[in-house]
């Protein structure tokens, strides 16, 4: 063990000796985090606690707390997962339900919203309503409204994992939705009314964009934001502003305490009032993991003030972790929960030294605080951002500093408008109108910063073990630094910040997205359970399918250096193939869309949900992008790329009962002597009847599902490389053993579920295969 590591360990043991209650609470949180994996706690955690904690009695108590927490989490998960909906899955039902949140709009106008069933089998259980664009969503179906939904119950799909973490038990594909006119009562119903009146106050009389942003910043409801605004905030590191978090609670408590002091209330009355309002604000803001953490920490601080004791921020953070995990042991799986705690940990650990050094160097107090908090939070969350989103903002630090002066006015004015709206709605307009000014500034700032070259860069996911290693190394280095007794001097701190900015500039150059590849490059992009194939040669670029809605297609395209597309191909109407088409059309210039959705005239229906008629027609018309329905015999050219449509044939048209996969566009891509066959979901019973060339590379049809004719097809095509595009832990068993057995005849077989993005580079007649998994 190095001297630095020994120093860090001594610092940890000293801290444990001085703060035993922190040790016990941390052990409880660790046990809750382990949950069903409690044997691992017994095997590993107990030994570690007994070895590290200096007092044996505290160590034994900590082991007991950890095991108790694990057992409690196991029992809680069993209770949360208990469901009576199993017999109703895949059946048509008509159920009464209470809407829990505003609906979110997904691709092609589909709305989704969580709801709680009212009675009957599954009464009280949480489900996810999925309402296609053809079904009208009643405007008054806001949180708390009771509705009658008719449709088919189904298991949650691969794109609804976040709802599973929020204890939803099923998906209801809604065919009709009717508002009953009733609303839930009691305290929760009263809070629904407060929220509704606050929402109306925030959006009344202000531009729609500012109103949507006000709802996001004050109430944590970002569903009304446009995709462009949401992307600007995300790429500039400002997305935390539209997710209710610690900043909201701090600003709210500050405002309440100030107004109560102005009204002449005593200290105890002020603190009790602030505590009550914070407790009410958490459910008003959606009760998500990050606002739960912030509310508990804020409440702990206020209670400590009431008791006349200084608040322990570290203890409050541990308490927030324990309480949120006890309420929902799956909370730790939520990226928002992870980012929230990582940011607060970094702020608690780094801000005091940074702030002290900056103020000693002559930086004004307010600016020093903003710089220190922003730098600490950015550094603390960067590994998790890379892990979950594979992107990093290089302008986050300066943009957050420039934004900080506008955040408090928005929160305070929005809170005042919401409070006034409860008693006199007409008087809420002035504060809301004034709030529109800083809101417009924030929108402008995010838009301008996002437009800067290299505002953000795509990065490879480091993986969970590497992220844990990064945090462990950073914690050890910080403890060793403090153990040496070195204090942050002004010049040292300023030099460190200058080095941070210099490192960011260097990273911008080093991580600059690549330009167009000089050689032919085919990338089978890892987009989960779906298809997306990018073909580039020089400045020419074609994208065949986009993967599922909400998938990582845009970050994959950025990492590949794509700035525009000559051709976007939607092979057929299935969300795992064209679900992100709207995102691509919004983000990139596209010269032409080849639309395979019109291969058959009826709407396509499949395991990924019902589709409305010709959604791409509406998307392309709205964005004024030329659209061409695919038809066998068509040849498209982009630079040296040639894309020939082999299927489907539009004359005669496919019968209405035809399987959507059987109408999928099949493409033969040629570049010089290189041949590639992209089959989408069209299996061998479709492709066997086509005139097919011998090819170098084959994309295996339908994610590697069972295909009895595949061996014969391989004998015809004789590919050197075969690639399967499938999602990790998908629900369909893709690729199947039979398909993998048939592919043993191909020299090189790669799979996106195991290998990540599969990239082929063609140079001098040779095909080099690399993977990013």
Which carries the bigger pLDDT value, residue 600 or residue 69? Answer: 69
For residue 54, what pLDDT is reported? 63
Report the pLDDT averaged over residues 238-251.
80
For residue 601, what pLDDT is reported? 39
Cα–Cα distance measured from residue 253 to residue 271, given in angstroms and rounded to the nearest whole number: 9
How many beta carbons lie within 10 A of that of residue 311, not counting itself? 16
Give the contacts of 148 (CB within 8 A, at least 6 positions apart): 94, 95, 96, 97, 177, 178, 180
How many beta carbons lie within 10 A of that of residue 692, not counting itself? 18
Least confident of 377-391, 430-444, 501-515, 732-746: 501-515
Cα–Cα distance measured from residue 515 to residue 409, given in angstroms and rounded to the nearest whole number: 42
Report the pLDDT averaged over residues 516-532.
91
- Helix, coil or strand: residue 355: helix
**With 50 as the cut, is the pLDDT of residue 603 above it?**
no
Least confident of 485-494, 515-524, 648-657: 485-494
How many beta carbons lie within 10 A of that of residue 428, not counting itself? 25
Q: Which of 614, 557, 611 is nearest to 584 (CA)?
A: 557
Q: Are 659 and 677 in contact (CB under 8 A)?
A: no
Q: pTM for the whole thing?
A: 0.66
Peptide bond into 690 cis (omega under 30): no
Which carries the bigger pLDDT value, residue 602 or residue 172? Answer: 172
Give the contacts of 700 (CB within 8 A, at least 6 positions apart): 679, 710, 722, 723, 724, 725, 735, 739, 743
Q: Which of 524, 581, 521, 573 is nearest to 549 (CA)?
A: 581
Going through 389-518 in order, the beta strands assigned E by DSSP cover 391-393, 456-458
Report the pLDDT averaged over residues 651-677.
81
For residue 229, what pLDDT is reported? 83
DSSP code string of 396-429: HHHHHHHHHHHHHHHHHHHHHHHHHHTT-GGGGH
Cα–Cα distance measured from residue 586 to residue 228, given in angstroms and rounded to the nearest whole number: 8
| Range among 126-140, 222-236, 300-314 rated most confident | 126-140
What angle (nearest 5°) sits at the alpha carbon of residue 362, between those of residues 357 and 368?
60
Cα–Cα distance measured from residue 540 to residue 99, given in angstroms and rounded to the nearest whole number: 47
Least confident of 149-153, 479-483, 756-760: 479-483
Q: Return the structure tokens found at 240.
A: 């935390």
Phi then psi for residue 128, to 5 deg, are -110, 120
**With 60 as the cut, is the pLDDT of residue 602 above it?**
no
**With 90 as the cut, is the pLDDT of residue 651 above it?**
no
- Tokens 């606690």 locate to 49
Q: Are 596 and 663 in contact (CB under 8 A)?
A: yes
Measure the N-to-C terminal CA separation of the chain; round to a whole number of Å. Answer: 33
Question: What percentage of the chain has pLDDT greater than the value 90?
Answer: 26
Q: pLDDT tens digits, residue range 134-186?
A: 889 998 888 889 999 999 998 886 567 678 878 889 999 899 999 998 888 78
Average pLDDT, the chain: 81
Cα–Cα distance measured from residue 695 to residue 769, given in angstroms and rounded to the nearest whole number: 16
For residue 12, what pLDDT is reported? 55
> CA 486 from chain center: how many Å?
39
For residue 126, what pLDDT is reported? 93
Q: pLDDT tens digits, residue range 272-296?
A: 888 888 888 888 887 666 677 777 7
Q: pLDDT tens digits, residue range 539-598?
A: 899 999 999 887 888 878 877 888 889 999 999 888 888 888 888 887 788 999 999 875
Which carries the bigger pLDDT value, residue 227 or residue 151? Answer: 151
**With 90 as the cut, is the pLDDT of residue 669 above it?**
yes
Cα–Cα distance measured from residue 605 to residue 648, given in angstroms and rounded to the nearest whole number: 18
Cα–Cα distance measured from residue 172 to residue 187, given in angstroms and rounded to the nearest whole number: 27
Cα–Cα distance measured from residue 749 to residue 324, given in angstroms and rounded to the nearest whole number: 44
How would you label 700-717 residue by residue, b for 16+ Cβ within 10 Å and e otherwise? bbbbbbebeebbebbeeb
For residue 666, what pLDDT is reported? 95
The most distant pair of C-alpha atoms in the chain lies apart, rounded to whole Å, by 87
CA atoms within 13 A on the CB side of 250: 7
Beta bridge partners of 570: 595
> CA 492 from chain center: how many Å?
37
**With 60 as the cut, is the pLDDT of residue 721 above it?**
yes
Looking at 335-395, list the stretches that DSSP marks H as alpha helix, in order from N- to C-terminal side.
Answer: 335-360, 365-389
Q: pLDDT tens digits, residue range 6-48?
A: 555 555 555 555 667 777 888 888 888 887 665 655 555 665 6
For residue 674, what pLDDT is reported? 95
Cα–Cα distance measured from residue 29 to residue 329, given in angstroms and rounded to the nearest whole number: 10
Least confident of 18-22, 311-315, 607-611: 607-611
- Helix, coil or strand: residue 169: strand
Report the pLDDT averaged over residues 716-721.
95
Q: pLDDT tens digits, residue range 681-701?
A: 999 999 988 999 999 999 999
| Range among 293-302, 467-476, 579-588, 737-746 rated most confident | 737-746
Cα–Cα distance measured from residue 545 to residue 650, given in angstroms and rounded to the nearest whole number: 20
Question: What percentage of the chain has pLDDT greater than the value 70?
Answer: 83
Cα–Cα distance measured from residue 471 to residue 377, given in angstroms and rounded to the nearest whole number: 13
Angle separating helix axes 186-203 and 208-219, nearest 10 degrees: 140
Cα–Cα distance measured from residue 420 to residue 404, given in angstroms and rounded to the nearest whole number: 25
Q: pLDDT tens digits, residue range 79-103?
A: 888 899 988 888 899 999 999 888 8
Helix (H) or strand (E) holding 605: strand 605-606
DSSP label at 136? P
Phi then psi for residue 238, to 5 deg, are -105, 5
Q: Please give the domain boundaries of the chain with CATH numbers for all domains.
A: 3-81 (no CATH), 86-184 (2.40.50.140), 199-342+391-464 (no CATH), 343-390+465-512 (no CATH), 520-771 (3.60.15.10)
Report the pLDDT averaged over residues 468-493.
66
């Amino acid at each position: 063990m190095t001297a630095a590591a020994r120093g860090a360990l001594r610092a940890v043991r000293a801290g444990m000796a001085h703060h035993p209650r922190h040790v016990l609470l941390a052990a409880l949180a660790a046990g809750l985090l382990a949950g069903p994996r409690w044997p691992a706690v017994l095997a590993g955690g107990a030994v570690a606690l007994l070895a590290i904690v200096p007092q044996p009695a505290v160590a034994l108590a900590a082991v007991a707390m950890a095991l108790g927490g694990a057992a409690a989490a196991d029992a809680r998960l069993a209770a949360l997962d208990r469901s009576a909906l199993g017999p109703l899955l895949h059946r048509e039902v008509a159920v009464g339900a209470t809407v829990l949140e505003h609906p979110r709009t997904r691709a092609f106008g589909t709305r989704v919203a969580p709801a709680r069933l009212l009675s009957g089998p599954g009464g009280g259980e949480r489900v996810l309503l999925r309402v296609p664009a053809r079904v009208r969503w009643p405007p008054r179906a806001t949180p708390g409204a009771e509705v009658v939904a008719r449709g088919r119950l189904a298991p949650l799909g691969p794109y609804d994992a976040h709802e599973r973490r929020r204890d939803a038990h099923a998906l209801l594909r809604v065919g009709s939705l009717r508002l009953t006119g009733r609303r839930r009562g009691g305290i929760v119903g009263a809070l629904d009314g407060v929220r509704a009146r606050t929402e109306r106050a925030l959006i009344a009389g202000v531009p729609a964009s500012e109103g949507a942003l006000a709802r996001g910043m004050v109430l944590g409801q970002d569903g009304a934001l446009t995709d462009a605004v949401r992307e600007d905030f995300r790429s500039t590191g400002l997305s935390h502003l539209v997710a209710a978090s610690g900043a909201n609670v701090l600003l709210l408590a500050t405002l309440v305490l100030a107004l109560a002091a102005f009204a002449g209330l005593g200290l105890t009355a002020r603190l009790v009032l602030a505590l009550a309002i914070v407790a009410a604000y958490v459910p008003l803001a959606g009760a998500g993991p990050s606002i739960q953490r912030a509310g508990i920490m804020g409440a702990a601080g206020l209670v400590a003030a009431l008791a006349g004791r200084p608040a322990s921020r570290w203890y409050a953070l541990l308490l927030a972790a324990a309480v949120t995990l006890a309420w929902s042991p799956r909370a730790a799986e939520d990226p928002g929960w992870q980012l929230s705690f990582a940011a607060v940990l970094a702020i608690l650990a780094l801000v005091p030294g940074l702030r002290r050094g900056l103020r000693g160097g002559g930086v004004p107090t307010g600016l020093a605080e903003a710089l220190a908090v922003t730098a600490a939070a950015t550094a603390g969350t960067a590994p998790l951002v890379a892990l979950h989103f594979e992107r990093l903002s290089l302008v986050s630090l300066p943009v957050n500093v420039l934004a900080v002066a506008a955040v408090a006015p928005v929160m305070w004015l929005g809170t005042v408008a919401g409070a006034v709206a409860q008693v006199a709605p007409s008087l809420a307009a002035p504060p809301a109108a004034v709030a529109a000014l800083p809101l417009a500034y924030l929108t402008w700032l995010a838009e301008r910063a996002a437009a800067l070259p290299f505002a953000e860069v795509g990065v490879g996911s480091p993986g969970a073990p590497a992220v844990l290693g990064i945090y462990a190394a950073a914690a050890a280095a910080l403890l060793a630094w403090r153990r040496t007794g070195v204090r942050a001097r002004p010049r040292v701190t300023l030099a460190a910040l200058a080095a941070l900015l210099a490192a960011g500039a260097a990273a911008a150059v080093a991580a600059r997205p690549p330009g167009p590849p000089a050689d032919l490059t085919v990338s089978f992009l890892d987009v989960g359970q779906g298809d997306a194939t990018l073909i580039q040669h020089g400045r020419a670029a074609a994208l065949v399918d986009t993967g599922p809605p909400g998938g990582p297609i845009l970050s994959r395209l950025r990492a590949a250096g794509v700035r525009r597309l000559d051709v976007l191909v939607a092979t057929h109407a299935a969300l795992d193939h064209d679900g992100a088409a709207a995102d691509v059309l919004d983000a990139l210039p596209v010269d032409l869309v080849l639309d395979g959705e019109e291969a058959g005239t009826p709407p396509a229906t499949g395991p990924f949900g019902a589709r409305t008629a010709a959604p791409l027609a509406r998307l392309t018309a709205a964005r004024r992008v030329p659209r061409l329905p695919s038809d066998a015999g068509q040849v498209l050219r982009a630079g040296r790329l040639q894309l020939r449509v082999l299927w489907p044939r539009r004359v005669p048209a496919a019968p209405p009962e035809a399987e959507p996969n059987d109408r999928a566009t099949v493409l033969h891509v040629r570049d010089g002597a290189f041949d590639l066959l992209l089959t989408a979901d069209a299996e061998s019973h479709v492709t066997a009847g086509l005139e097919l060339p011998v090819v170098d590379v084959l994309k295996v049809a339908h994610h590697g599902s069972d295909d009895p004719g595949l061996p014969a097809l391989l004998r015809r095509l004789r590919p050197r490389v075969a690639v399967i595009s499938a999602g990790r832990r998908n629900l369909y068993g893709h690729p199947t053993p039979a398909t993998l057995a048939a592919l043993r005849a191909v020299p090189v077989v790669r799979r996106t579920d195991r290998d990540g993005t599969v990239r082929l580079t063609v140079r001098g007649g040779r095909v080099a295969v690399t993977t990013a998994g």
